[in-house]
Chain A
Amino acid sequence: MKLANWQTDKQFLNSANCSKDEANIATLIESYGKDMDSKYLINQNIRNSSISSSVIKRIRMYSGVFVTTAFVFFATSITTPLQAETPEEKGLAIAIEADKRNEGFVDTTATMRMVLRNRAGRESLREMRSMVLEVTGDGDKSLTIFDEPRDVKGTASLTFSHATEPDDQWLYLPALKRVKRISSKNKSGPFMGSEFAFEDIASQEVDKYTYKHLKDDTLNGRDVFVVESYPAYKNSGYTRLISWIDKTEYYPLKTEFYDRKNSLLKTLKFSEYNQYLSKYWRAHRMDMENHQTGKSTTLSWADFKFQNGLKSSDFNSKSLKRFR
């Protein structure tokens, strides 16, 4: 079964009032739960029954395309938590709230500039333009057009993201006029040789992780939630991520990435947040430091524009040649 069916069947799930009723959920498992991913979701659902209907619903991007610690559920129609909230429930609730606050951006365009630094301090430059289309009932569609380095100028990548199923991904090679479907399995590989892995810059969906609230704390004078998250998709390079989430605005200030051996691999710091349309917060600067190699990458965002009237025909693998 495809995960997308969960969204298309959203009304059915709502009417089943499953958030209160584990028996209903069990019925759902019977009717839907052949698939491992779905079972996983449903199990999680049962565990977090106080907020389960939101778990069934799905999940949007947090910050444009490219924020690691994105927490992306929408719809938190919640029942009364009679029992004490477990750390897992609280972690998930934070993710859901963060997603809710990013709902309805429709589409976004922005420019990206990456400065890569190796241990010796040598720098190289990447420049890209990003377009994202919010998709109701599935992961978002995103398009990245490369401007620097110049030998890849005009190259474009198109991604249809999905929560736990593999993303669909195409690459347009302008010299050959060739559109290539490529494997999206390589989650942990470096994006353009930077310290950002593909999974760090991919469209983030709440379903992609499970969560656990560790503690409340302060960071740089801000009250934060400290939340641990565990990738639920295959082929991640991480065992866990720890994120410091602003308590007021629900955006991340810092994330630590732990590798497959559970050693600290990278730290990402978010800064220069601006708010758009009185709702959507976007970090304009992201600093990723690799503690194991000594390399670092600074990703700067600019020219955020929302609700540009982008259409799904702009995100067609055949129309990649239109972009410059």
Chain B
Amino acid sequence: MKRIYTNIYPENRNGLPLKKSIFVITGLLLSTLTSALAASPFDSIEYRGNVTAELLGFSQPATHNGDHRLNTSISTEVEFYYPFSSGNSDLVVTPFVRVDQHDEERTHVDFREFLYRWNNDNWEIQAGLGKVFWGVAESVNIVDVINTRDAVEGILDNEKLGQPMIQLSWLRDQGSLDFLILPGFREQTFAGEDGRPRFPFVVDTSLADTSSFTSGRNVDFALRYTTTIDDWDLGFSVFDGTDRDPEFIPVFGDTPADVRLQPIYGQITQAGIDAQATLDSWLLKFEGIFQSGDLTEDHIELVTGFEYSFFGIKDTDADLGIIAEYLFDDRDAGISQAFQNDLLLGMRLALNDEDSTDALLGTIVDLDSQSLTFTFEASRRIGNSFKISANAVVWADTSEDPLLQLLSDEDYLELEVSWFF
């Protein structure tokens, strides 16, 4: 839940210099790439990608920011792939661009990947901007600490910013070892002043405190071992460096209403375990971390639960999955530990038709405050190249929850049309 909430913190307009520099860097990289592509035999370049148009509708006018109830946005992500003639190395470049009607913070550019990859059977090196995924859970992946979230992208999307990295991997049938050197750090994005949904507080990225990274050794490290033993998939990871999830300090302005939040990025050391047992119709899942840091007390976090599938319900092709996950954080409840004692209950329906129609209905129950967060995601393919989807988030029974109460006017429905090429 922490991620869901941090996603929608608002932000002051002062983030512009950073954004400008991103545009400049992006422009330079793009022009470099374009000339590289032009100089090379063009037929060996492959690409795939999508253009997505999005319409966002809110149930209530906003009380704390722009009064719009509708927002439109368009985004594109293209993955360019250039295999080198040696046959065992390639370059993957994946620019992402979004233009948003209201939120200037959501109008942004990123390289999800700008990655040189080399492999020699059991050895693999990746260097550049990259993206990794660690973990097994459906609600939150607490062991997944390498990439900073691109939180302006949306509550239900798990979008990540490209992370500068050098990753060395040793792959064996028995298990695989990854060693990551992370020489750079990306700040999390937040919805802007005119962005929705968001909390009434402004997260002011211009105040962001990254001194623990810049004044430290400036390089983070991580190690991960994964293995499969029969029905079990296991992962063990260690991370030492800058926390990708910031803490927040309120900064008071001239009037009582003027409260902004300063994101502070601390240093953490974290050890994590993730495990999944795949037993017939059951997927049993566990993620656990022990974390210590300069801004947080030593603590553990857990996510554990199951997914059970009914295959071919009522003699149709459709599958129905039941998901339950419990989320625990042993720190006292605070603004950034929203998943302190929560339960996710979900239902996934896949029709398995030629249009891949599926839907996921979820409820997050805060067991302390009894507040509810409902999520809904559904999609289906249109023809061979288009896909439509509908997503919604609704908050309910938030009266006992001071944090979620602030979101009661932010219920929304999102419609998307994507063209894939």
* B354, A186: Cβ atoms closer than 8 Å: no
* A322, B119: Cβ atoms closer than 8 Å: yes
Q: Select which of B48, B171, B278, B383 is within 8 A of A181 by beta carbon.
A: B278
Could you give, for residues 384-421 of chain B, a 1 whenever the CB lies within 8 Å of some chain A CB and a 0 otherwise?
11010000000000000000000000000000001011
- When chains A and B are docked, how far (Å) is the Cα of A319 from the Cα of B418? 28
Measured between beta carbons, the chain B residues less than 8 angstroms from A150 are 48, 384-385, 420-421
Measured between beta carbons, the chain B residues less than 8 angstroms from A116 are 354
Q: Select which of B228, B283, B384 is within 8 A of A149 by beta carbon.
A: B384
* A168, B317: Cβ atoms closer than 8 Å: no
Chain A residue with the shortest CB-CB distance to B278? A181
Could you give, for residues 40-82 of chain B, a 1 whenever the CB lies within 8 Å of some chain A CB and a 0 otherwise?
0000001010100000000000000000000000000001010
- When chains A and B are docked, how far (Å) is the Cα of A125 from the Cα of B383? 9
- When chains A and B are docked, how far (Å) is the Cα of A322 from the Cα of B176? 15
Measured between beta carbons, the chain A residues less than 8 angstroms from B280 are 166, 183, 185
* B319, A182: Cβ atoms closer than 8 Å: no
* B81, A324: Cβ atoms closer than 8 Å: yes
- When chains A and B are docked, how far (Å) is the Cα of A235 from the Cα of B356? 22
B375 interface contact, C-beta 8 A: no
* A189, B319: Cβ atoms closer than 8 Å: yes
Number of A-B contacts (CB under 8 A): 102
Measured between beta carbons, the chain A residues less than 8 angstroms from B79 are 154, 174
Interface residues of B in 278-335 (CB under 8 A from A): 278, 280-283, 309, 311-312, 317, 319
* B418, A151: Cβ atoms closer than 8 Å: yes
Measured between beta carbons, the chain A residues less than 8 angstroms from B136 are 181
- When chains A and B are docked, how far (Å) is the Cα of A89 from the Cα of B282? 38
* B133, A177: Cβ atoms closer than 8 Å: yes
- When chains A and B are docked, how far (Å) is the Cα of A185 from the Cα of B279? 9
* B281, A185: Cβ atoms closer than 8 Å: yes
* A176, B384: Cβ atoms closer than 8 Å: no
* A317, B420: Cβ atoms closer than 8 Å: no
A34 interface contact, C-beta 8 A: no
Q: Select which of B50, B173, B354, B355 is within 8 A of A316 by beta carbon.
A: B173
B209 interface contact, C-beta 8 A: no
B254 interface contact, C-beta 8 A: no
With A125-B384, A324-B81: A313-B352 Cβ-Cβ less than 8 Å: no
Interface residues of B in 119-148 (CB under 8 A from A): 119, 121-122, 124, 131-133, 136
With A149-B381, A151-B381, A317-B228: A124-B354 Cβ-Cβ less than 8 Å: yes
* B173, A312: Cβ atoms closer than 8 Å: yes
Measured between beta carbons, the chain A residues less than 8 angstroms from B81 are 324
* B311, A181: Cβ atoms closer than 8 Å: no
Measured between beta carbons, the chain B residues less than 8 angstroms from A190 are 317, 352
A193 interface contact, C-beta 8 A: yes
* A176, B133: Cβ atoms closer than 8 Å: yes
In the complex, the 7 A-B pairs of residues with the closest C-beta atoms, listed nearest first: A193-B354, A150-B420, A178-B133, A186-B311, A318-B176, A177-B133, A151-B420
Q: List 9 A-B contacts (CB under 8 A).
A: A150-B384, A153-B420, A179-B133, A181-B278, A189-B352, A190-B317, A190-B352, A193-B353, A311-B121
Which residues of B line the A interface, CB within 8 A? 46, 48, 50, 79, 81, 83, 117, 119, 121-122, 124, 131-133, 136, 158, 169, 171, 173, 176, 226, 228, 233, 276, 278, 280-283, 309, 311-312, 317, 319, 352-356, 381, 383-385, 387, 418, 420-421
Which residues of A line the B interface, CB within 8 A? 116, 118, 124-125, 148-154, 166, 168, 174, 176-179, 181-183, 185-186, 188-190, 193-194, 235, 237, 311-313, 316-319, 322, 324
